[in-house]
Amino acid sequence: MKISICLSTNPARFSAVSFKGDLEKNLETISALGYDGVELAIRDPRLVDQDGLTALVRKYDLEVPAIGTGQAWGEEHLSYTDPDENVRQAAIERTISHIPFARRHGAVIIIGLLRGLYPESVSPTQANAWMKEAFSYCCKAAGASGVRIAFEPINRFEVNSLNSVRQGLEFIEHVGAENLGMLLDTFHMNIEEPNIEDSIRLAGERIFHFHYADSNRWYPGAGHLNFDSLLTALYSTGYNGYISGEHMPDPDAVTSARMGITYLKGLGPGPELEDM
Residue with smallest beta-carbon separation from ligand LER = 112
Q: Where are the alpha helices (DSSP H) in 158-274?
A: 165-175, 186-192, 196-203, 227-236, 253-265
Q: Residue 145 half-sphere exposure, CB side, CA atoms within 13 Å?
A: 21
Choose among ligand LER, Mn ion, none what residue 113 binds, the Cβ cut-off being 5 to 8 Å by kind: ligand LER
154 binds ligand LER per the rule CB under 6 A: yes
Q: Which residues pair with 2 in a beta bridge?
A: 242
| Residues in CB range of 235: below 8 A, 6 or more apart | 272, 273, 276
Instruction: Report in angstroms how near the CB of residue 39 gets to ligand LER at its nearest.
Output: 9
Return the C-alpha torsion angle 185, 191, 197, 198, nearest 10: -110
Size of the site for ligand LER (CB under 6 A): 11
Catalytic residue among 152, 178, 193, 197: 152
192 binds ligand LER per the rule CB under 6 A: no
Choose among ligand LER, Mn ion, none what residue 193 binds, the Cβ cut-off being 5 to 8 Å by kind: none
Q: How far apart (Å, rounded) are the C-alpha atoms in residues 259 and 223?
A: 12
Task: Give residues 25-64 in contact with ligand LER (rule: CB under 6 A).
Answer: none
Task: Give residues 78-137 in contact with Mn ion (rule: CB under 5 A).
Answer: none
181 binds ligand LER per the rule CB under 6 A: no
Q: For ligand LER, which residue of 3, 9, 109, 152 counts as binding (CB under 6 A)?
A: 152
Peptide bond into 251 cis (omega under 30): yes
Choose among Mn ion, ligand LER, none what residue 158 binds, the Cβ cut-off being 5 to 8 Å by kind: ligand LER
Instruction: Report in angstroms how near the CB of residue 267 gets to ligand LER at its nearest.
Output: 22
Which amino acid would we find at residue 41?
A: A
Q: How far apart (Å, rounded) are the C-alpha atoms in residues 246 and 218?
A: 9
Q: Is 246 a catalytic residue?
A: yes
How distant is the alpha carbon of residue 265 from its chain centre? Answer: 21
H-run or E-run covering 59: helix 50-59
DSSP for 105-153, please give it.
Answer: HTPEEEESGGG----TTS-HHHHHHHHHHHHHHHHHHHHTTT--EEE--
Choose among ligand LER, Mn ion, none what residue 116 binds, the Cβ cut-off being 5 to 8 Å by kind: none
Tell me the per-residue interface mask from 171 to 210 with Mn ion, x by CB under 5 A, - otherwise.
--------------x-------------------------
Secondary structure (3-state) at 185: strand
Q: Give the DSSP letter of residue 161.
A: S
Task: Give residues 212-271 in contact with Mn ion (rule: CB under 5 A).
Answer: 246
Nearer to Mn ion, 193 or 246 (CB): 246
Q: Is 75 a catalytic residue?
A: no
Nearer to ligand LER, 2 or 272 (CB): 2
Nearer to ligand LER, 25 or 156 (CB): 156
Q: Among all residues, which ones are annotated catalytic?
A: 152, 246
Catalog residues that contact Mn ion under the rule CB under 5 A.
185, 211, 246
Q: Which residues of this chain interact with ligand LER, rule CB under 6 A? A: 14, 68, 70, 112-113, 152, 154, 158, 185, 211, 246
